[in-house]
Amino acid sequence: MGDKTIKQIIDPPVVSDDDLYLQEKDVIDAFLGLPLQKRAVACEVIEALTAVVEREDSGNDEKTS
């Protein structure tokens, strides 16, 4: 069951824009279904990705100014 949950996050089904809410709900449900240790790792990954995006966004703001 854990493998299916991880695969759903990596390879989400192709859906229309109208179904984005349901897709987000599936991701949240999959996250909540993870063991606590895997949730902690996922949170660290999300935090690291957020920091990268923020750095890239701040770099783009400087280049366009």
Q: Are 29 and 46 found together in one domain? A: no
The band of 65, judged by pLDDT with boundaries at 50, 70 and 90, is: very low
Q: Are 22 and 48 found together in one domain? A: no
13 CB-near residues (< 8 Å, 6+ apart): 23
Q: Are 27 and 44 found together in one domain? A: no
Q: CA-to-CA distance for 7 and 1, rounded, in angstroms?
A: 10
Residue 33: DSSP 8-state: T
Q: Are 27 and 1 found together in one domain? A: yes
Average pLDDT of the chain, as a whole number: 77
Q: What per-residue confidence (pLDDT) applies to 54? A: 93
Q: Are 29 and 42 found together in one domain? A: no
Tokens 């909540």: give the residue: 32
Whether 13 shows a pLDDT value over 90: the answer reads no
Q: What per-residue confidence (pLDDT) applies to 25? A: 84
Q: What per-residue confidence (pLDDT) applies to 21? A: 73
Q: What per-residue confidence (pLDDT) applies to 49? A: 93
What is the C-alpha R_g of the chain?
15
Instruction: Tell if the pTM clears 0.85, that is, is over it.
Output: no
| Token pair belonging to 62 | 């400087």
